[in-house]
């Protein structure tokens, strides 16, 4: 029972990472109908920026905030420069462009910082937290809190600020939004910026566990895909929940199904994606998109 609780908690911790990245994917998907295959690599790149700042002697939370700002700007620039020219192009073209981004971020990171694994500090103490007679890793607990805080902030931003409302409107109905004076193009760019911020949070939280290297986010991204698919690509809340569920399932399966262990991690995610797509392609909370032909 203790092992079970421990595994669920650490599943929630990794699930939070998946949830943040899944939310980033879903936000971009809702606003522009694009699945950004480079989301994980952008997060990895932001984490390297944080690492560079930490090495230059910036205190952790300063570097954390600095990275979020840089990630936001980076996301906006990527949308303006790279994605905008293919706006309205066939899906294949857009997917190929995001794959191009994936490759560029990955190789440039390898170029600048090399492929050697780098340790990344955790902002939380290394002593475990004790609740009753069960021990939890401090980083796990801290990670869950950070994710929840970020999610709460973003929820309030979209719910209670005029800018958030404008962004939702731009994603929901671009034509009408333009008519009432919302600058839809910039709203989409800001959506990319915010998505990059979630990615950066996920990257900085997962780096102490996985150690920093250019291919670090591959596994995280496939689980984020699984989470977003499970929750539904049309539902941000669903994607967050999906991310948490996927994290817990991954951990429990790894612990209790002996022949899988950690060696078939990706295969488990692949299985989850395929099962969800076969059984309920819209995901748990998604709505079916009906198109007129």
Name the residues that contact other proteins, by CB under 8 A. 29, 35, 37, 82, 85-86, 89-93, 95-97, 99-104, 106-108, 110-111, 218-219, 222, 225-226, 229, 233, 263-267, 269-270, 273-274, 277-278, 281, 293
Shortest Cβ 214–other proteins spacing (Å): 8
Q: Which is nearer to other proteins, 130 or 288 (CB)?
A: 288
Shortest Cβ 270–other proteins spacing (Å): 4
Shortest Cβ 259–other proteins spacing (Å): 9
Q: Which is nearer to other proteins, 124 or 233 (CB)?
A: 233
Q: Which is nearer to other proteins, 141 or 217 (CB)?
A: 217
DSSP annotation string for 5-32:
HHHHHHHHHHHHHHHHHHHHHHHHHHHH
Q: Which is nearer to other proteins, 104 or 284 (CB)?
A: 104
Shortest Cβ 96–other proteins spacing (Å): 6
Question: What contacts 129, CB < 8 A, 6 or more positions away?
Answer: 135, 136, 137, 138, 141
Beta strands in the chain (DSSP E): 129-131, 134-136
Phi and psi at 34, nearest 5°, equal -120, 135
148-184 as b/e, with b when 16 or more CB fall inside 10 Å?
Answer: eebbeebeeebeeeeebebbbbbbeebeebeeeebeb
The closest alpha carbon to 43, from 63, 72, 86, 15, belongs to 72
Q: Nearest 5 degrees, angle CA 151-CA 157-CA 161? A: 170
Q: Which is nearer to other proteins, 92 or 180 (CB)?
A: 92
Shortest Cβ 229–other proteins spacing (Å): 7
Q: Which is nearer to other proteins, 142 or 232 (CB)?
A: 232
The closest alpha carbon to 48, from 112, 134, 104, belongs to 112
Shortest Cβ 116–other proteins spacing (Å): 12
């Amino acid at each position: 029972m203790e092992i079970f609780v421990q595994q669920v908690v650490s599943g929630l911790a990794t699930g939070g990472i998946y949830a943040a990245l899944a939310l980033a994917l879903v936000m971009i998907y809702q606003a522009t109908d694009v699945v950004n295959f480079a989301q994980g690599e952008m997060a990895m790149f932001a984490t390297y920026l944080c690492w560079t700042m930490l090495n230059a002697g910036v205190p952790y939370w300063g570097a954390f905030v600095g990275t979020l700002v840089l990630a936001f700007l980076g996301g906006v620039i990527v949308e303006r420069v790279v994605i905008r020219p293919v706006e309205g192009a066939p899906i294949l073209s857009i997917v190929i462009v995001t794959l191009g981004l994936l490759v560029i971020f990955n190789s440039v990171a390898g170029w600048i910082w090399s492929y050697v694994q780098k340790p990344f500090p955790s902002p939380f103490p290394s002593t475990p937290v004790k609740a009753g007679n069960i021990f939890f890793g401090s980083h796990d607990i801290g990670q869950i809190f950070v994710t929840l805080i970020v999610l709460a902030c973003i929820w309030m931003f979209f719910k209670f600020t005029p800018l958030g409302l404008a962004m939702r409107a731009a994603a929901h109905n671009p034509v009408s939004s333009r008519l009432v004076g919302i600058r839809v193009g910039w709203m989409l760019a800001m959506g990319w910026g915010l998505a990059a911020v979630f990615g950066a949070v996920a990257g900085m939280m997962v780096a102490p566990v996985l150690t920093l290297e250019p291919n670090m986010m591959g596994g995280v991204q496939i689980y984020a895909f699984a989470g977003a698919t499970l929750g539904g690509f049309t539902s941000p809340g669903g994607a967050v929940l999906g991310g948490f569920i996927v994290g817990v399932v991954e951990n429990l399966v790894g612990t209790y199904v002996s022949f899988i262990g950690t060696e078939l991690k990706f295969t488990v995610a692949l299985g989850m994606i395929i099962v969800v797509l076969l059984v309920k392609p819209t995901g748990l909370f998604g709505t079916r998109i009906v198109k007129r032909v």
